[in-house]
A = this chain, B = another copy of it.
Amino acid sequence: MPTIEDVARLAAVSTSTVSYALSGKRPISAATRRRIEAAVAELGYRPHAGAKALASARSEVIGLMVPMRAGIDVAVIMQFAGGVVLRAREHAHDVLLLTQDDLEGLERVTDGAMVDALVVMDVEADDARVPILRRSKQPAVLIGLPRLAAGLSCIDLDFEAAGRLAALELASLGHRDIALVGSPPEVHERHTSYAERVTRGFLTGAAEAGVAARAVACPATPNDVDDVVDRLLADAPGLTGLFVHNERALPHVLHRLREHRRSVPRDLSVIALCPEETALSQQVALTSIDLPAHTIGSLAVDMVMARLTDSGYPAETRLLAPTLTTRASTRAPGGH
């Protein structure tokens, strides 16, 4: 592989001129720049990433921690990751992939200067990564809200508002008895914050609107979903509105309702909290609150880059307002 020195020689300039021409960090005459570009092209020169990182104290890589355990909502994860990678490339950065639980890996890449910044997904209330991130010199942004976010940037959908929005929407359609089919028990047990926030928002919204509401956790396997739905219908015979925040359970919930001869939306209105694609690929096009995972991933990168570029840039918490799109799964109760 050619080095910067080869380029310099061929262009008949010094290595520093090549370096500056490539980085744009100081003005270079048009003629010189042209010769350098020609030399670069002719040799097929690429800067050595390690050498660059060593000399500049910047790796131009951002770390991304993604949950890989089974039972995770894969579609959402992929959208986050896609948003992160695409946006990182637009900022001329690469992405190093770490798994959620790899705490030692987190320390390795931060202390070893492999990454300039971090994006971590699926944050829990008392996330073990938070203290590590706090003491690392790299900026980080969390997707999700830990209990103590001080000093760290966070971004997420405003899940509490989303829960509330769903409850109010159902109430305003005239439903008086509604329920939330929420995240799997494991997610609650981990105190992943979105699960609790959705629940709180939903129940609060229902209370405000004066309608009866309940919230249940829901595993993802077909049989377990059936049980949850069966129990719900038994416990709340007057139920007419459902809010589902559980992508894996969603198809099974809809299926079980059909087996109970409860037609959507005639007998039961359903709102889902999921990516648009998911809402559209069910049997009935679902009224949904969008989970804009791709956008959140992109914004997370923007936030982290802002802090990288401008070291005075403050940490911030951003909660995206939920938006509801009405489709074919909701209407007023009582056969219209």
A residues lining the B interface (CB < 8 Å): 1, 44, 46-54, 59, 61, 64, 68, 70, 74-75, 77-78, 81-82, 85-86, 89, 94-99, 102, 105, 107-109, 111-114, 220-222, 248, 251-252, 255, 277, 280-283
Contacts beyond the supplied A85-B98, A89-B99, A96-B97: 13 A-B pairs with Cβ under 8 Å = A49-B53, A49-B59, A49-B113, A50-B113, A53-B53, A61-B96, A68-B82, A81-B97, A82-B99, A89-B105, A95-B97, A97-B97, A221-B280
Say yes or no: B85 contacts A68, CB within 8 Å. yes
Q: How many copies does the complex hold?
A: 2
Chain B residues, CB < 8 A from A64: 97
* A105 to B222 alpha-carbon distance, docked (Å): 41
Say yes or no: B109 contacts A85, CB within 8 Å. no
* A124 to B75 alpha-carbon distance, docked (Å): 23
Query: With A50-B50, A74-B78, A99-B85 known to touch, is A255 a contact of B283 (CB < 8 Å)?
Result: yes
Set B89, B94, B255, B277: member contacting A96, Cβ < 8 A: B94
Chain B residues, CB < 8 A from A97: 64, 81, 85, 94-97
* A268 to B34 alpha-carbon distance, docked (Å): 69
Q: Specify the chain B residue showing the minimal Cβ separation from A50.
A: B53
